[in-house]
Structure formats: structure tokens, C-alpha cells
Amino acid sequence: MTHNEPTSSALSDDEPFLTDNHLPDEDDFVLSEVHMVPSNLSPYTQTTTITPFHFPNHNLSINIHHRLATPLDLVGQQVWNGALLMIDFILSHTDLFRDKVVCEIGAGTGIVSVVCGKKEVGCLKVFGTDLDDRGILELCRLNVKDSGVVDVVEVYPVDLLDDNCPIFIADQLPSDEARGWPFEAVEEFHTSCSVLLACDVIYDEPITFAFVRRMPALLTAGRILFLSLEKRIVFTTSQMETRAPAVDYLFETIEAFNADRDELGLAEVKWERVRFEGDTTRGALVELWKFWL
């Protein structure tokens, strides 16, 4: 069983600030439980920290630059349990990834893309993608560079709200660079990418809606998507029960989209829960799902 042991943290003075100068109140920050260890400095520190992540069953260790507490719109600069569950799955099922072209949607720090780029996994090419906003891509590229996987992992912008993002348009390849993607990368995505990854992207309804809206385009050409998520439980007084509203919204939205696609005679998005040995190591509320057309 693989696991992560953050053993120490260190600040780097060479890294740029990754947020605006005017930060929200501390009450508006969120902190991943991955970073809740005694050795960490104040979670509200303005700079990045470096944490080693160890996967001893697979003889793999990597150092990741990340932020501690961040406002909600910058949570991608932290490492979350969903990403660690995805790594556990990848390292336990390298046959699904070796020699494959993989694209991660919402790569954040890039920790999952970095692992995919390591020889222990053996991906042919990895596209790590996220918003080109307030240093998110720079942080991802920093981790790719420092982890020695620049020959395998390429980092490009993807905005789920952008209808002109080239990976969402399969029938019209650009003749030149488009939205920060060189032509060769767009072509390789559409002709060779077979596996999609997404971790911890289900937490905000507008983002979830945009993600579901892109699923049919992303899942064309026989691609499969592995999605890890953490069920954040709340108690509803109206129904007097515990719910995971973000996850409920995800599947309700997919079902609504499928109903529309069925009326048009289009393939529906299908899904199933993925279970594997050690899949509860990151907590009972962290789950892995597979999607396809």
C-alpha cells in the first residue's frame, strides 16, 4: 500500500509570490489536511513551501513546491488527498498508463502529472493543464522542472469556460499556436491521448457544470477519464440527513446532460466507481471514479 509522509517543509526565497498583494481575510482561506502537520510553518505564509512525498512500496520520492492555506480560487496550489489517491491508483496500475499519452485537467501543483512522467509509471507524454492565472501554471512548471520530467510532461493552459480551447475542438485543428498550445501538442492530444485524469476539481458548482459540459468532447476517440474526489459532508436540516452536495451536483448534472444527449441520439456519459487494494488509505470519503462514452 502506498502512502505519503510529509516529513519536513522548507521555504524557497527564489520563487515568486503566487498570489495578489491584497489577500482575503484569514477566515476566507482553506487548508488541505495533507498539509496539517506539526512541522509546517503558519498556514498563512505568503510564499511556497517544499514537502517531500514518499511512496515506499514503489521506491518513489518526489519534492513538491506548494502553498499552504489559500483562498478558494487558488486551492490548486495545495496538494489534496484526491491527488494522492490518484497517485496510489496509478502506481498500482502502471499497465494502464505505460507508453500512453495522458492529459490531466486541473493539474494544480502538478504532483500527479509529475508522477506520470516518472520512469516508474512510464507514460509516453503527459499534458498537465490548468488555468493560466496567478502563478498556477508557473508552479506546475516549477515542479515539473525540479522533478526532472520536462522531457515527458508539458504544461499548458486550459480554461473550462473557454469554448475555443483547442483540446475541446476535435474537428478543427489550429494551424498555429492556439490558446498557448503549440500545434504539435494539440495534434498529439487529439490523435494519441487515451487517458484523462482529474483530481479534486469537484468543489464549486460553476466549475463542476463547466467540467461536465466538456466531458463529451474530452471523452471522444475512446478516451477514459479517471476522476478522484473528496466527499465533503454536510448535515441538511431540511432533509435531516448528511449529504455530499458537491458530489450530488456532479452526478445530477451528468444525468441532466445525458437526458439531453439521449434526445439528440448522442452517446451518453457512463461511469463506475473504481476500487482497488488500498483505496481507503487516503480516507473513507476520498473516491475514484471512471468515466467514458
The pLDDT of residue 35 is 55
Cell for 289?
471514479
For residues 11-44, one letter each, b for 16 or more C-beta atoms within 10 angstroms of the residue's C-beta and e for the rest, the string is eeeebeebbeeeeeeeeebebbebbeeeebeebe
Q: What is the pTM of this model?
A: 0.87
The pLDDT of residue 172 is 76
Which class is domain 79-292?
Answer: alpha beta
C-alpha closest to that of 88 among 58, 109, 64, 61: 58
**For residues 223-252, average pLDDT:** 81
How confident is the model over 41-83, as pLDDT tens digits? 555 566 788 999 999 989 999 999 998 877 878 888 989 999 9
The pLDDT of residue 111 is 98
The pLDDT of residue 284 is 84
Alpha-carbon distance of 221 to 105, in angstroms, equals 17
How confident is the model over 206-215, as pLDDT tens digits? 999 999 999 9
**For residues 89-113, average pLDDT:** 98
Q: How far apart are the first and last CA of the chain?
A: 31
C-alpha closest to that of 130 among 115, 141, 116: 141
How confident is the model over 156-197, as pLDDT tens digits? 999 999 999 999 998 877 777 889 999 999 999 999 999 999
How confident is the model over 110-136, as pLDDT tens digits? 999 999 999 999 999 999 999 998 899
Considering the chain, what percentage of its residues have pLDDT values greater than 70? 82
**For residues 247-264, average pLDDT:** 97
Whole-number average pLDDT of the chain? 86
Amino acid at 99: D
**For residues 201-222, average pLDDT:** 95
